[in-house]
Amino acid sequence: MFNKVLIANRGEIAVRIVRACRELGLQTVAVYSDADRQALHVRYADEAYRLGPAPSRDSYLRADKIIDIARKSDAGAIHPGYGFLAERADFAEACRDAGVVFVGPNPSSIAAMGDKAVARATVSRAGVQVVPGTEGEGSLRDDELLSMARSIGFPLLIKATAGGGGKGMREVEKIEEMPSLLSAARREAEASFGDGNVYLEKLVEGARHIEIQILADGQGNVIHLGERECSIQRRHQKLLEESPSPFVGDDEEFRQKIGAVAVRAAQAVNYVNAGTIEFLVDKDKNFYFLEMNTRLQVEHPVTEMVTGVDIVKEQMRIARGRSLHHQQEDIHHNGWAIECRINAEDPYNNFIPSTGRITHTLLPTGPGVRVDTGVYIGFEISPYYDSLISKLIVWGETRGEAILRMRRALEEYKILGVHNNIPFHQRLMDSHRFMGGQYDTRFVEERFSIEEAEESVNSRPDIAALLATLVAHRQAERAAHIILRNERDTSNWKWLSRWERLRR
């Protein structure tokens, strides 16, 4: 059994894992790139070792170096966090070969869920419904797609294999219009991604992205911790998550039903440790398996807030070979939690990422507020890694209280030095559709504009004008002041000597 854990990650999640280890009395080993020497996870850990230059492939993706450091520092386990090496079966395998515990599932589970076609086939066999479609079937010709379209049913979507951001995507209502839409989609995909391959997927109308957190131990016990609602996304990047889902609400029967299906999907690959099953849920509460994330999720805190279970600590217990702390009937949901991802990006400028030094930050505190972050004043947000600055999580007895608390916390939160999306979240919290829980995965891209939202806000341009003028005035006065002082400072002696020369 291990007593020292190497954390093969950076940023807020590395800090989060160090915290869990500290509470469990486990020693921690941080690894860092040259860009992260000053990062919080390095400063918080008991030991720290350099990996290499800033780019990920030279640092956080260097599996060989990381395993080497684990051996040299005598760390008995590696926690991969999320991203980087977290879902790489070969890395999990290399850990096992080196005699180091990988805090996560077996390599075979990662491999089975990592391949879309295999994952769909595996869970289908276990009786889990998947979104009907041809994803993962490889590249198909138009005639093959046309013949498969009937069995999928209409309406359906044509999607680019290399796709994203809606490029190369077409909605098809009936078979007659499909040939022309297929060629249009292929053309667009070819132009956007240099790859004209497309696949078909049943169009799930009013789709919501709902995922189930599961925990599984090495003794074969699997439980679920309820759902997270992740439909607030932009270009497939989640921006806000909540638990429970306003769509599920107090429908405990549905929660247990989808939870049991998630447990079945996990059991189908003999899953161990923490994982998440993602579902698309349509407006009639039909749900379809999307994929399984075989790792800790960014948004795990909302589940922790409503269940009281510390998921990272559970991961450590499971990795140490202990059985689950809780049984399914011990899991109760209390209140409501919302998480806003605070990213270094400019919501007023097409969400362009922003880099720079954090010159000032004031964290929200007070009842029911949690901030998971890896930055502090003076920290440099570099272009090498993702743009997540922090996660702001609030808890309330009801969804209404959680929203009001989030509004309050966002108003308190100040980050200077880099652009950030706090104003976006503030506008979102004011949106009536969000308040009513009336949103699907297309909400942010199709129905929400920060500029429009700001127009409807009862704002005070007169106060803004006054503030700008006062600051400009202050700056002008200070500039004048500096010039005056310099004149006197430098010229007194000069004047004296010139004057003396004149008198000569």
Partner 1 sequence: MKYITTINGHEYIVDIIDEHKVSIDGVTFQIDFIPVGDQPVYSLVVNGQSFDAHVYPNEDAWQVLFRGSLFTAYVEDEREKRLRAALAGKVAQHADFHLKAPMPGMVVSIPVQEGQVVRKGDVLVILESMKMQNELRSPRDGKVVRVRVETGDRVEQKETMLSVV
Residue 242 CB coordination number (10 Å): 28
Query: Which residue type occupies 325?
Result: H
Q: How many Cα atoms are found within 13 Å in the side-chain-facing hemisphere of 263?
A: 18
Total residues at interface with partner 1 (CB under 8 A): 45
- The residues, ordered by sequence, that sit 6+ positions from 481 with a Cβ below 8 Å of its Cβ are none
Q: Are 203 and 211 in contact (CB under 8 A)?
A: no
Token code pair at residue 374:
């890896």
Q: Are 413 and 364 in contact (CB under 8 A)?
A: yes
CA dihedral 1, 270, 22, 17 (to 10 degrees): 140
Determine which residue in the list 471, 479, 480, 482 makes contact with partner 1, applying CB under 8 A: 471
Contact status: 459 vs partner 1 (CB under 8 A): yes
Determine which residue in the list 355, 431, 437, 438 makes contact with partner 1, applying CB under 8 A: 355
Catalytic residue status for 295: yes
**Nearest-approach distance from CB 441 to partner 1, in angstroms:** 18
Contact status: 283 vs partner 1 (CB under 8 A): no
Contact status: 473 vs partner 1 (CB under 8 A): yes
Residue that has been written with the tokens 């920290």 in this structure:
379
**Range in contact with partner 1 (rule: CB under 8 A) among 246-254, 278-286, 348-356, 489-497:** 348-356
Map the footprint of partner 1 across residues 358-397, applying CB under 8 A. Answer: 359-360, 383-387
**Nearest-approach distance from CB 226 to partner 1, in angstroms:** 30
Residue that has been written with the tokens 């309406």 in this structure:
155
**Nearest-approach distance from CB 142 to partner 1, in angstroms:** 26
Contact status: 460 vs partner 1 (CB under 8 A): yes
**Range in contact with partner 1 (rule: CB under 8 A) among 5-13, 116-124, 287-295, 353-361:** 353-361
CA dihedral 211, 212, 213, 216 (to 10 degrees): -140
Map the footprint of partner 1 across residues 392-421, applying CB under 8 A. Answer: 410-411, 414, 416
Contact status: 472 vs partner 1 (CB under 8 A): yes
**Nearest-approach distance from CB 469 to partner 1, in angstroms:** 4
**Nearest-approach distance from CB 462 to partner 1, in angstroms:** 6
210-to-51, 73, 213, 231, 290 alpha-carbon distances in Å: 37, 40, 10, 7, 10
Contact status: 482 vs partner 1 (CB under 8 A): no
What is the full DSSP assignment across 32-59? EEGGGTT-HHHHHSSEEEEEESSSGGGT
Q: Which is nearer to partner 1, 180 or 459 (CB)?
A: 459
Contact status: 344 vs partner 1 (CB under 8 A): yes
Q: Which of 170, 208, 295, 370 is catalytic?
A: 295
Q: How many Cα atoms are found within 13 Å in the side-chain-facing hemisphere of 270?
A: 7
Contact status: 457 vs partner 1 (CB under 8 A): yes
Q: Which is nearer to partner 1, 197 or 355 (CB)?
A: 355
Distance CA 21, CA 359 (A): 30
Active site members: 295
Binding positions for partner 1, rule: CB under 8 A: 237, 344-345, 348-355, 359-360, 383-387, 410-411, 414, 416, 422-423, 426-427, 454, 457, 459-474, 476
